[in-house]
Structure 1
Amino acid sequence: MHDGNGDAVNPVAVVHKRRKGIYVLPNLITLAALFGGFYAIVMAMNGRFDLAAAGVFCAMVLDSLDGRVARMTNTQSAFGEQMDSLSDMVSFGVAPALIAYEWALSSLGRWGWIAAFVYCSCAALRLARFNVNTGTVDRRWFQGLPSPAAAALVTGFIWLLSDAGLEQGQDGLLSWLQLTWVMFALTLYAGLTMVTNAPFYSFKDLRLKKSVPFASIVLIVLAIAIINIHAPTVLFCLFVIYGTSGYGVYAWRRAKGYRASVISTSTDEPEERGLHE
């Protein structure tokens, strides 16, 4: 083919590559959750541990929304998944560890920062394992305690005592030294439980679009009313129950002879099939 000047023209059409973008709404919610974690760290550095705990709990609420919003609006993306993991690492890994260290663990010297580091590193390991095993884990269960629940255990305890008016160094029902060791044990428990194989219910099989009996709405209203009686106490107790439920489910499955692992099949390295029986 030739143009008017007699020069050859390539008949193949030029294909313009479409520029890739990101979805605003779900990533905006993820950034808001990240800000909650960052705010919590800043408040802990300023000695406002009640606000630090509130920042982590706000990040938890926002973290539960971004994935659902992405699915409802059909705006899921690999970028959003990576962004969510990085946000979780800050809000539920780094922030709770630093808050616990600033609040009490620093008085234990090396034992304190060891506990904080164990929690932080376990959060990283748990998030990495979750990303790798997304397609192989039964979606009804989490493999190990989810990082938002672990963060709620650590910061919820601090929120509870701060709301009771207990300041750093003061003695309550327990001496401050005893409370410090309770914080040490709770931080280690939350961190190590994140990397166990105990199954924790994920609530992912609940269908928000599905119609429910009227009594379910009444129960939700009652639950909100109970939480408002004293939010720090009720929420902390709820997360203590959830944070120990996985071991109960694990023991029940073993007692019944059921397979205790929530891993169905795994092709990822290292080989994990024989480790979760």
Structure 2
Amino acid sequence: MSAPFAPYDPGPTRRRRGRAPRFSRVPLRLILPNLVTLLALCSGLTAIRMALEARWDYAIGAIVIAAVLDALDGRVARLLKGTSKFGAELDSLADFVNFGVAPALILYSWLLQEVRSIGWIAALVFSISAALRLARFNVSIDDPDKPAWAVNFFTGVPAPAGALSVLFPVYLELVGVLPHWPELAPAVALYVVAIALLMVSRLPTFSGKKLGSRVRRDLVLPLFVAAVFLVALLVSYPFEILALGVAGYLVSIPLAWHWHQKYLKGEAAETADEDGEEETDLDHLGDDDKDDAG
């Protein structure tokens, strides 16, 4: 008895033209920046572990390493021309863990748990503010209407700076300036909320993106000496340098706002001059020319 339906023979498979092979090779220049981002994420997760073990110095050190790696991964990607949408998304997720979740858990384990729900609310506000700050940055990064001078400023405190700034009370305690008193927990919670509000605010802050892009030849060797000196100070007196750095950064925010206002006024003056020149050109036209121009 023959089969009611003839067997189906698909025939030889052919790859469609123009389609990449199923397992294509990925260039190494695309992998290296993502590898740096993953190392930063490992450092942030290690900071959470150190906080659970009450090893505050190691926890802060892990946050600092994550911040350094976060500053490097973007530069490595641009240097190797290995930027990708996947890398940008991975970087944002890693930044949320490193600079949103990890500092909040460090602060809660350190002192905020003394005021229970109030301390947890402060930690939540900081983490959520870090997520909102990163989301706003991702949306505005491709804004075509930005003026050229806008690259000198961030809108609000960036996530890495916010993470290092919110740990300022921990630095003071490790230095010996601030005692570990449970009565100080409400004040620390207010400080944490204040830093969170600075992160989601519209206040301009210095970006420093153009620093180090071009260095004069006569300043190369002094720059090397200054970098070695700074690293030596950070290794020898880590929490003192971090405390001074955070204090200087917070003081720079009003200065950044002042310079931002100067740029805005200069841009407004240039726009007014251009409008005035256009009106003057129209005044020199005849009546018929004005009608044609209209």
Q: Same fold (TM over 0.5)?
A: yes
* Structure (1 or 2) with the greater helix fraction: 2
Deviation readout 1:163-220 (Å, 9 max, x if unpaired): 54xxxxxxx7656134323321221122111011111111111244644433444443
After TM superposition, list the pairs within 5 Å mapping 1:63-78 onto structure 2. 63-78=70-85
Q: What amino acid is the match of 1:142? A: F
Aligned mates of 1:237, 1:185 — CA distance in 2: 21
Alignment match, 1:157: 169
Alignment match, 1:32: 39
SS in 1 for 2:54: coil
| Percent sequence identity over aligned pairs | 37
CA shift in 2, pair 1:141/1:175, >3 Å: same
Alignment match, 1:16: 19
Partners of 1:145 and 1:243 within 8 A in 2: no
After TM superposition, list the pairs within 5 Å mapping 1:110-149 onto structure 2. 110-136=117-143, 138-149=150-161
Alignment match, 2:209: 204
Normalized against structure 1, the TM-score is what?
0.77
Partners of 1:149 and 1:243 within 8 A in 2: no
Partners of 1:123 and 1:147 within 8 A in 2: yes
Unaligned runs of 5+ in 1: 1-11, 165-171, 261-277
CA shift in 2, pair 1:175/1:224, >3 Å: closer
CA shift in 2, pair 1:250/1:70, >3 Å: same
1:53 aligns with 2:57: no
Normalized against structure 2, the TM-score is what?
0.73
Which structure has the bigger radius of gyration?
Answer: 2
Aligned mates of 2:208, 2:184 — CA distance in 1: 33
CA shift in 2, pair 1:177/1:133, >3 Å: same
Unaligned runs of 5+ in 2: 1-14, 267-294
Q: What amino acid is the match of 2:97? A: V
Corresponding residue pairs, total = 242
CA shift in 2, pair 1:237/1:179, >3 Å: farther
Aligned mates of 1:158, 1:199 — CA distance in 2: 26
Higher relative contact order at CA 8 Å, sep ≥6: structure 1 or structure 2?
1
CA shift in 2, pair 1:174/1:99, >3 Å: closer
Q: What amino acid is the match of 2:208? A: F
2:182 corresponds to which of 139, 155, 177: 177
Partners of 2:206 and 2:256 within 8 A in 1: no
SS in 2 for 1:139: helix
1:242 aligns with 2:254: no
Aligned mates of 2:100, 2:89 — CA distance in 1: 15
Alignment match, 1:99: 106
- Displacement of 1:221 after TM fit? 3.9
